Chain A
Amino acid sequence: MMLVCATFPLIWVGGLVTTQKAGMAVPDWPSTYGYNLFLYPWQTWLFGPYDLFLEHGHRILGALVGMVAIGLLVSILYCDARKHLIILAVIALVAVIIQGVLGGARVIQDEILLAKIHGCFGPFFFMLAVALEVITSKRWSQMRLPCKDSQTSTSLADSQQIAGLKRLAVSTAVFAYLQLLLGAQIRHISPMTSHGNFRIAVVFHVFVAFVVLGHVLLLTTKVWRHQDKLKLLRSVTLVASLLVIGQVCLGVATYTAKYAWPAILPGGDYFAGLLIEAESFTQTMIVTGHVATGSLILAVTTTAALYCFKYYPSEFRLPRISGTTLRGVIA
C-alpha cells in the first residue's frame, strides 16, 4: 500500500521535474534571449515571431506547471498523506500562483521591481519543487540508512562531523540562492541605478561566487572522504562541483561577452581586438547559459542538502541549526 502510494506521485513528480527544468529555465530565458538582457521585454509577444514564441511559450509553460502542482497536491493527498509533504505541496501551489500573478503584474505595469521579484521568486519555487521531487522519489524512500546499523559504534566526534556536514550542505544551498538573487539584481537594473551601487553588486556577486565555489568543493571533499559510501550523495556533490566550476567560467565569459575581458584577469591583450556585438547569438547564449546553470546549481545543492539530512537522520542529536546560526554563517 505504502509502495503504491509512494510510486504514484513519483510518476507525477517525474513529469513535474521535467516541466520544472523547462518551466523554470524559461522564465529566466526570454529576458536574455530576445532583445534584452537587463530587463524583460514586455509586450514583446506583439513584437515579432521569435519573441512571440518565447513569451507565449513562457506563459503556456507557467500554466502547465501550475496544473502539475495542483495534480501533485491532489495525488499526495490521496496517496501519500505525509503531513510535511502536504504542507510543502500546498506551499508549492501557492508559490506557483503568486509567481504567475507576479509575472502578469510585471507585464502590465512594466515595473522593474516586479521583474526583480518575479526573477527572485522563480528560483525559490524551483527549490521547492526540487525538494518535493527529492522527498517523494523512490530513491528517497529506498535510501539505505547505514548509520542506523553502525549507530552504537559512532563516536561523538563523528556525530559532530556529521552535524557540520549538514550545516555546510544547507549553507551551500543558501549561498547558491543568494547568488541567484544577486544575479537578478545585476540583470534587472533600473536606468536610475547609480554606477557605484551596480559595481558593488557585481563585486559582491563575484565574491559570493567564490564563497559558493569554496563551499561546494569543501562539501564534495567531505562527502567523498567520509567512510560511509553513499553513491547518490557522492555523485550529487560531484555534479555540483563540476557545475560550479563551469559556472565560474561561464561568468567570466558572460562578462567578456557583455563588456570585455575583465581587466583584473591577466591575458587582456588576447582580447584587445574583441568587438562586442549586441544581442548576437553568442552573447545571448552565453548569458542565458550562465543564468540557467545558476538555477541548476541551486537544484543540485538543494538535493545534496536534503540527502544529507536523510542519510544521517535524527539518531545523532544535532545542535539545532536555527535561523540565527544560519545568519551567523552568512554574516
Chain B
Amino acid sequence: MTSRVDAPLKVTGQARYGADHNFPGMAYGYLVLSTIARGRIVAMDVTAAKSAPGVLGVYSPFDPLELHAVSTPMLGETWVPLQDDQVAYYGQAIGFVVAETFEQARDAAMLVEVSYQALPAATSMADGMATAEDAPPSRDGSPSSLEILAPGVESIDEAFAASPVVVEATYSTAPQNHAAMEPHSAVAVWGDGGVTVYSGNQGAMLQVMELAAALGVGPERVHAVNPFVGGAFGGKGRTSAPAFLAAAAARALGRPVKAALAREQVFTATAGRAATVQKLTLGADHQGTLIAMRHDSWCSTAMDRSFVEPTSHGTSREYYATQNLALSQKIVPLNLPPTTFMRAPGEAPGSFALESAIDELAVALNMDPIELRLRNNATAPVGKDLQWSSKHLDECFHVGAARFGWAQRTPQGRTDGDWLVGMGVASALFPALRFPASVEITLRADDTAVVSTGGSDPGTGLLTVLSLVGGESLDIAADRVTPRLGDSAYPPGGMSAGSTATASASTAVMIAATQVIDDLLGLASAPDAPFHGVEVSYEGGRVLGGGRSLSFGELLRALDRESLSATGSSAPGDEYTKHSFSSFGAQFCEVRVHRWTREARVSRMLGVFDAGRIINEKTARSQIAGGMIWGVSAALHEALEFEAGGRPANADLAGYLVPVNADIPDIDVHFLRYPDTLHNAVGAKGIGEIGTVGMAAAVANAVYNATGIRVRHIPITIEDLLID
C-alpha cells in the first residue's frame, strides 16, 4: 500500500493550484452574473464601475472581449461568455470587471447596473414534463427509446400482463452541483510563444483545444498547466468562464489576469447535474425471475440541450437478465444552468430508481433483496450477445453479506434505544472504458525515471498510479519514478473522465517502458558502447551482458547522456467487439432514524467491488470511500433548490448541504481482485465513479427497512419521515 505521492505537498499547503500562481503586474477579474432566468440584456450601465478605484476594464455583451465559438470533437460545443445579449438562466456570466486588486474588481462588479427585458422562463421540471422531448440519439447512434422483447412477445405491455407480480413507481432525484473545493479559476499570461493558462481541469489537452478555438489562435500557442486540481468530478471537463475571460482579458490588457468564481457563482456559472424523474415497472414470477422491465426517464437540460443524463440506458440495460425490456429517455429543456457530466452521470441517479424498485419488488415477493438480485444475475447486457469479460457480482454479494452481518437483518428492521435501525443493499455497475493515451518515460543519468502525460489527478491517485506502474514496468522501485501530470507540454493521455485514467494511462506506461528499455539496450550494445558485441538484457533497472551489469544511470553516464526518452501510446482495440466490460459492486448500509425527531443517519456502510486489478489499495480505497460519501450525500443531503424565478435558493456551502465528518461512519471497502486482462494489459478497470452508484438506493432501502416508509425521491429529509 503506497501513500499518495502528492499528499505531503497537499497537507503542507505547498501544492500550487491554478489560482495560486502569481505574476508581476497581474490584474484581477471578477464576473458579473445575470439576475433573471430568461430574456435580453437591454443595457448595462458601467459608468460607476469604470470610474471605481483601480478598474482597468469592464467587459460586457456591449463591450465584449474577443472570443470565438468553441467546438471540439471530444466535448462538442462549449459556450463562451459575453458574445450576445441573451440570458438563458439565472447566474449566467454577463460581465467581467478587471482591476488592480481582487477587492477592487469585486467592488466594481457590484456597481454594474443591468437592465433586462425579461421573458417568461421555464424553470420547473414538473411543469416541463408535459412537453418533454425525446433525447437525441446517443453517441453510438442508438435511439432514445428501445424495446427488446422475448420471441413471440408482441409488446412490453403483454409481457407485464403475463407477469404474476408487477411493481410500478416513480422516483425523482434532485439537481446537484459538483461543489468542488477549488472554485473554477484561472491565471492567464501571454508571452512571445502565446498564452499560458494555469487552471484546474480534467485534461490539459482539452483545455488547449477549447482555449485555442476561443482565442482564435493555433493550439501550439496555448500552454495549459494544471499540476494540481482541487476536485473536478466532471465539472472541470469543459473550459470554465473565468478561464476564457482571463485569457481574453490578459490579451486585451497586455498583462497577466487572474479570475476565480466566488463560491456562490460556482453554483450557476458552471454546470451541474440534471434533475431526473424515472418511472420503473418491473414484472416477475413468484420465484423472483424478472419477466419484464420498463424504465422511462426524464432529465432536465439547459435550453441549448447540450447534455443528457442517461438514467435508463445507463442502468437498466445492464443490471438484470430480463427477458423483455423497454427503455426511454426524454429531456426537459429549462432556463436553468447547464447540466454536464457529474460523477456517474446516468448511473448514479438511475441506480437510485432501479435499485429502489428492485427492493420494492423484493418486498412484494417477500424475498430477500440479495436473493432476488442473484436470481436475475446477467451474463451480458440485455439484448447483446457480448458477455462480460469478467463478472463476480455474485461473489461481491456473498462476501459483503458475510462482512456486513446481513443475516441479522429482518424485514421489519430493529430498534436500538431511541433509534430505528435498518439495513439496505444495492448493486452497482459502471462501464469499463479506455481512452487513447500517450505517455513519455524518461530514464535519467541519476538512475531515476520520469513518467509524464497531460491528464490530471484531481485527487484520484493517478500520480501515485503512474509512479507504481512506472516502477513496475521499469522493474525499479516506485520511489525512483517521478510522475508528472497536468501540462499540455506532455503527451496527451490520462484524462480524468469516465473512470478511465488508470486503465488508459497504465497501458501506455507499459508500452512506453518496453520502448525505452529497447532503446536503452540498443544504446548499450551500439559500437563504442560498454556492451558492444555482447548479448544484453534488462532487469531491475540494470543492463546485463557479458557477465557484468550497469544500472541505466551508469550506462547513460558512460555514454555521456543526461537522459533517454521514449513515448508509448495505447488505445482501445477490438476488445469491445468481443466482450462487454464493467466494474461491479455490492453496496450495503445501515441507517438509523430517530424515533422522535426522524433524522436519518448512516451508521455503517460497506462496499465490495469487483473492479479488476487494484493497483494501489490505499488510494483505491479512498476513491471508493469518497464515492460512497457522495452517495450518502445524494441520498440524505444534496439538492440545488431552484426557485420559480430560476434562482438557486441555497447557493453556498452553508445552504447546499454535503455531509460533514460527523455524518460519515467508518467505511468498509473490500476489493475482489480479478485482473481483467481482456480489457487491458494491466488488468485494471475503473473505480472513480462506481463507489457512488449503488449508495443512494442502499440508503433509501435501509430507511425503508428501518421505518417502513418508502421515500421515492432524494435527498430524503426529516419531513419525509415524519408521520403523525
Q: Do A and B come from one complex?
A: no
Q: Which B residues lie at the A interface, using CB under 8 A? A: none
